[in-house]
Structure formats: C-alpha cells, structure tokens
Chains A and B, each alone.
Chain A
Amino acid sequence: MSTTQERADTQKRFTLAKKGFDEADDRFASSRWFVSVLDKIFPDHWSFMVGEIALDSLILLILTGVYLTFFFIPNSRDVVYAPTAGHVYAPLVGQHMSEAYQSVLNISFNVRFGLLMRQAHHWAALVFLAAVVFHLCRIFFTGAFRKPRETNWIIGLTLWMIVMLEGFTGYSLPDDLLSGTGIRVIYSVLEGIPFVGTWITYDLWGGRYPGTTFITRLFIVHEFIFPALIVGLLSAHLMILWRQKHTDFPGPGKTETNIRGSRVWPQYAMKAGGLAMIVSGVIFALAGLVQINPVWIYGPYTPYTVSTGSTPDWYVAWLDGAVRLWPHWEFRSFGHEIANPFFPGLLIPGVVFTLMYLWPVVDRKIYNDHERHNLLDRPRDKPFRTGVGVAAIVFFADLTLATGDDILSNNLHIPFERILEVLQYGVVIGPVAGFLIAYKACKALQRTDAHPIRHPVGGMIVRAADGSYHTLGEAHAPHAGEDGYVEVEKAEEHAEEHAEGR
C-alpha cells in the first residue's frame, strides 16, 4: 500500500484521472510506480528529440503498413491487367504482370486512401531513416556510446542495419521495374559470395532467378520478421535507456549524477505529443502533395527491361554507389573466381559495420578512459573522434553520390566517366581530407574557448530611463517555472551503482 502522502500528491497532480488512479491503486498499489514514471526527468536539449522523430515515424510506418497489408497480394503469379471495375490505368491494360504489382496498382487507383497510405508509408520510411542516421551521428559525436551505454550502441547499430534492410525489402515488394532491378543487384551480390553463393541464392529464391516464391518470402520478411525484430530491439533499447537514464550536455548544475530537464507528466508528454502531431502532419502533407514511387510509370518488372536512373532509396544508396564505383578487378582464391559485386556489396558494408560495432572499444583505447560517463563530450573537445566521424560521413556521402552518377552527369553536363573517376578518388582522399579539416577545426574552436573574454550567453543589457544599465537574465539561469518546469533529479540509485562499480 502506498502512503497517504503519496496518494494525496498523486491526486493533486492528476485530478483528471483521480478516480482511475484510486481504482488502480486499490488493486495494484501502483501509485508509487506511476509517480516514479510520470516524474521521470527528460533532458530538454533539442537534439534528444530526434530519436522521438524516429519513433513517431516508425509508428506511422506500422499504421500505414498495416493498412497496406489489407490490400497487398504477395504473389508473383502472372496475371494480365484487365480491370473490370473502378479506375483503369490505360497504359497498362492487357499487359502481363505479377499479382503483387497488380495489387499495388489497385491500392493506388481503387482503394480508398490507398495511394495516400502508400505515399505516407514511403515518405515515413525516408524520414524515419533520416532521423535514425541523425540520431546515430549525435550519439557518436557526443560520446554517448561510452561506458555504461555500449550495449545500446550495439543495439542501435543493429537496428539501423535492420531498418535499412526493412526499407529495401519494402521497396522491392511492388515488383515494378525499379524493384526488380534492385533485386537483380542483390541477387548478383549474394551469388558472388565465394563457395556458397549459388546455394544461398538457390535457397532464397526457391530455384532459379527470378522464380515464383521470392515475393511471398520477401513479404513475410518485410511485414513480420523485420518489424518484429525492430520492435523487439527498440523495446530493449528504450528499456536500457530508461534504466541507465539519459546523458546530458555539461552545463551549470549538471553533474555526472543528476539529470536536469522536464518531468514526463505533464511537460514532456505535451512536448512529445505535440511533436508526434507535427511528424504525422509533415509526413501526411508530403504524402498528399508530392508523388513518390509512381510504380505505374515504371511499369511491371520484366528481366529484359531496364530504365536509366534506377536507384534505390537514399538510405541504401551508398551500397549501390559502392557497386558502381568498384573497379572491374578480378580475384581468385582456391581456383574460384570471386564475382565482382561481392566486394562492394558485402565486404565493404561488412568492414564498415565491424568497425562501427568495435568503436566503443577503440575509443576507450584511444583516450585510455575506462570511466562511466553520464555527461556528454562536446565534439570539439575530442578532435580525433570528431575527425573519424566526419571522415565516415564523407565516405558515405561519396558513395551515395555515386548512385546518382548518371543524374549528376546529366544535370552538371560533366562526362559520366569523369564523375566516376572523381568519386573513385574521392572515396579514398575525401575521408582523409575530412578528418584533417575536422581535426584542425576542433583545435581552432578549442583555442577560441580558451580565450579569456568569452561571449556572455543569454544575457541582455538594457538601458533604463535614467540612463543606467542593467542585465536582464543571466547566462544559463535555470528556468524555474510555476509548474516546476526544471527539476533536478537526485539520482541516488545512480550514485550507488557508481560507488559499487569500483
């Protein structure tokens, strides 16, 4: 049983739900738990809300995705497009296509809200991945992956990988010309795996390419296996976050053992709820205003047609770019020739992900720092790490640009071969240059920081009527508001753990 005091507190703050709390408390003695949840403090820095953009767009993805599953038919059976009712898309009438592609046409033209949902689903995927990548960058550059949060770094990377694959499998479902071209590339990458490649492709495709089972399997992966993994890993991610608490930027009143920010209820809940509405507003605005993936223009996939400018969605474009930039070298091992697409398609991402998984260990070695950290680094204070991060961004950006090589050369009127050459050099030289520039910039910023006369932050000097000067507002003054807007949570629990740890 909770104490009367706790109960009274709860009731005072949650008058609206008073009755409900009473009933629940009588049964589960849950007030204490509720209060601890609702009083949890979240830091207010804007960059921490990017993860929430990701979460909101994931929820939109699931909702719109569920709607699409009602109408999508995951079958590669050959049909002839001859609709007898509803809107007929004239340029495809009488053509052979898979049932899957036909069902996407049906979703787009005849299902109520079908096209809106398809477009919202796809836009949400693009925004989702952008939020995930930004979130990852924040974690890296501020050192938030350091002890004790290495586990969440590893879970996060796995999530990123799965989410990219989830997007790619979704892109491949409609079985239009772009989908098919993408699957064809994956097929040749997998086939190129030394020794076992042919087996793997034979098993995945249930026979020879393109086969008749692949879309059904892809669908199971896209709408069940990956989403289940994503939701599972995400839950672990958030539970660990809850347990370990947020990191925060250093600042007045912030220490390794406290957290400043807003309580879950009501401030943070209002902000998060408002943000969720903004996210769905923006995504549905895009879905209503800007066309995305008009599969009827690309036409049904047939192995002998191809369109120029066929690229994957932006978040996996770097893999496609790697395939495009990789020179036509030949490798042999044990008398086997290793097919070319294997290197850029699997080896490069393999190396990249291994390095990223290992980074917390590498970072610990570089800075010889085995402490626990709840306060973040400012990127400028860790020039080497920041340099490595910038180098990685340049690397990914170069590969992503390579996907658009034909579009670039068409619009910039630079020969295609020249663009490839520049990007091939760029993928080697660019990261080095990025590292050096970032390193130097960090050092320069550190020097400005060390300068004795620093700019006051947040203060405002006003001149009164009598000619005297006053300062309004102090730098970093805590914004204490009537609702206790800023709270300092004494993390005793935390301090204890900290003490035990040594």
Chain B
Amino acid sequence: MIAALLRRRRVLAGPLAVVAVAVVVGSVLFMAGGAAHGQTGQSLLVSTNSSDILAGQTLYDTHCESCHGYEGKGGVTSAPALVSVGAAAADFYLTTGRMPLNNPANQALRHHPYFDRTQIRQLDAYIAALPGITGDGPPGPAIPTVAPLCSSPSGSGGSGGSGNRSGSGSGCVTLSEGESGFALNCAECHQAAGSGGMLSKGNVIPTLRNANITQVAEAMRVGPKPMPVFGPKEISNKEMSAIAHYVEYLHQPASPGGLRISGFGPIAEGFVGIVFGFGILLFAVRMIGTRG
C-alpha cells in the first residue's frame, strides 16, 4: 500500500532527498567558519624630498589647480582651499580615487585611483609642503600611523577582565577596543557590520568594505564631508588604530553560520526567509496538493 503510494505520489522520495541534501550540505558549510585574521598596519611617511615636492607641484598644476586654485589657496570654484588640509587628506582623497573630481558640484565618491602610487606620494608631499610654500596656515594632519594588533585578544598585559578601554601602555591595540570604538562612533552611520547607510539630503554613506586600514585611519582624521572629523581629542591614536583594525577585520570577520547577509539586517533575512524558506515550501505544497 505504501509502496503504491510512493510510486504514485512520490510523497516520500522528495522530502527524504531534501532532508538528506540539507543535512549533508548544511553541516559541511556550517563547520566552515571563517578563520580569524589580522595584519599589522604599515606606516606611510610623507616625503619631504624637494624633487618629490616639485613633481607633485607639476601634477597639481595640471590636474588640480583649475578647481583648488594657485598653490591650493582656493577661491576659484566651490572647491575648498588645500593649504592646511595636510597629507592625510591628500592621501585619502587620492588613494580612494575621490580626486580629481570632474565636476565640482558632484559628491566626491570612491573611484579607481586616477594616479599611481608614486604620483600620489608626490602630490601628498606637495600638499603637505603647502603651508611652508605659501607661508600661511598651520600644517594639516600627517598620514596617521596605525599601531599593530596585540598578539593576545585581551591586550598585551593579558590580564583579561580589566575592561577594554584602559590603555595598557604598550603600543599594540586589540580588536575589542576597535569593536567598542566602532560601535560608539561609526555604526550609527556605517552600520554595525560596516555595510553603509543613508544620510539625509541624499548623501550616501559608503560601505567600508573597500577601505584599507590606512584609509580608515585617514578618514577619521580628515572627515570627508559630510562625515565629521574625529580628531585626536575625540579618538586617541590608540583608539583610531584599533578602529582601523576592526574595520579591516570586518572585511573577513570570523563570523560563522553560513552566507553573511547581516550587512542588510533583518529585512534581508526576512526576504530570504519568505522567498527561499516559505517560497520553496509553497512550491512543495502545490506539488503535493491538488489545484483548481
């Protein structure tokens, strides 16, 4: 009787296959959690070599002056003066391809960098030297150096449980300091997983997936408008380094459980649940039941 039923309605074969496949595939993928990974930050010193500065000036005159004015003094278009923006700003805007802009009215967004590494070094050098050349304005922030990650997750002291924000004196930082700093200062705009969001008046808050560790540190110090500047008063160098490491960690987090859709939050989960969970079940039910 059951055999006849099986043959005719295929009621059992389908479900059993689904269960088998689910169990096998599910458990294999489930066990494959991401591995923790870390990387020490590289320090980028700005060249003070006069030939670099000169080469930077040439590049500036051809590509930037039309908007930012003679010797970065501004006043030509809506583009700001560059005299005291510092190497951090120059490096951030150039390595993220935000500059040169083709239209001063556009929001400067991330693009493939227009210049190569050497040219960027030269432009950085020139802009860092502008306060000296023009003789007015204080020097801007230098390219920040990112402290390395500690080898133990609880910080160098290893005295776990002493709270995370107490500086332990030694130069290294922990991911944990980065996580709480990020949650406190950045998640409000960039979302907890760094996937970006929306600011009013149509400004896009970008995902942090593409920003490397130096760019994250620079972004805090520079504050690419409309993002606020986080100076050393708000965020110490240590915390800045920790946040930069945590953002890099978020690129490949040790976050088990399968395909990561957390960047879009519960709404994306609902979509998957309805379409791939309930949707498949509706289909199954249509196969089992009669229609019309």
Contact = CB atoms under 8 A, between A and B. Distances in A.
A45 interface: yes
Contact of A94 (B22, B30, B155): B155
B285 A46 contact: yes
B176 A53 contact: no
A277 B246 contact: no
A290 B200 CA distance: 32
A131 B278 contact: yes
Main SS class of interface, B: helix
A47 B205 contact: no
Given A53-B285, A126-B277, A93 B270 contact: no
A46 B286 contact: yes
B289 to A, nearest CB: 3
A88 B273 contact: no
In this complex, the member of B29, B161, B179 whose beta carbon has the largest number of chain A beta carbons within 10 angstroms is: B179
A266 interface: yes
Nearest to A485: B8
Interface in A43-83: 44-50, 52-53, 80, 82
Contacts of B276: 286, 290
Interface in B247-292: 249-250, 253-262, 264-267, 269-274, 276-278, 280-282, 284-286, 288-292
Interface string B185-196: 001111111011
Contact of A481 (B8, B250, B254, B265): B8
B23 interface: yes
A126 B281 contact: no
A284 B22 contact: yes
Contacts of A82: 154, 160-161
A172 interface: no
B105 interface: no
A46 B264 contact: no
Contact of A293 (B266, B277, B285): B266
B192 A299 contact: yes
A44 B289 contact: yes
Nearest to B193: A297
B15 interface: yes
A92 B179 contact: yes
A279 to B, nearest CB: 6
Contacts of B196: 410
A281 B15 contact: yes
Nearest to A93: B153
A468 interface: no
B211 interface: no
A305 B176 contact: no
Given A88-B153, A275-B285, A288-B22, A53 B256 contact: no
Given A82-B161, A90-B175, A293-B269, A307 B192 contact: yes
B264 A50 contact: no
A481 B285 CA distance: 21
A350 interface: no
A271 B80 CA distance: 71
A312 B284 CA distance: 28
B288 A92 contact: no
Interface in A185-217: none
A297 B254 contact: no
A274 B174 CA distance: 51
A454 interface: no
Interface in B217-270: 246, 249-250, 253-262, 264-267, 269-270
A218 interface: no
A416 B260 CA distance: 26
A308 B278 contact: no
Contact of B278 (A53, A280, A287, A483): A53
A450 interface: no
B119 interface: no
Nearest to B265: A309
Interface in A116-138: 116, 119, 122-123, 126-127, 130-131, 134
Nearest to A79: B161
A91 B190 contact: no
A270 B277 contact: no
Given A280-B19, A305-B183, A314-B270, A297 B26 contact: no
A407 interface: yes
Interface string B119-158: 0000000000000000000000000000000000111000
Interface of B: 1-2, 4-5, 8-9, 11-12, 14-16, 18-19, 21-23, 25-27, 29-30, 36, 153-155, 160-164, 174-176, 178-180, 183-184, 187-193, 195-202, 204-205, 246, 249-250, 253-262, 264-267, 269-274, 276-278, 280-282, 284-286, 288-292
21 contacts: A46-B290, A49-B285, A53-B285, A90-B153, A91-B179, A94-B163, A94-B176, A115-B30, A130-B274, A177-B187, A278-B15, A280-B19, A285-B25, A292-B257, A296-B255, A297-B255, A309-B197, A309-B265, A409-B202, A482-B4, A483-B1
Counting from the closest, the 10 A-B pairs by CB-CB distance are A288-B26, A314-B270, A46-B289, A126-B273, A308-B197, A291-B257, A277-B15, A415-B202, A285-B22, A90-B153
Given A115-B256, A131-B281, 6 more contacts: A130-B273, A274-B11, A275-B285, A291-B262, A292-B261, A299-B192
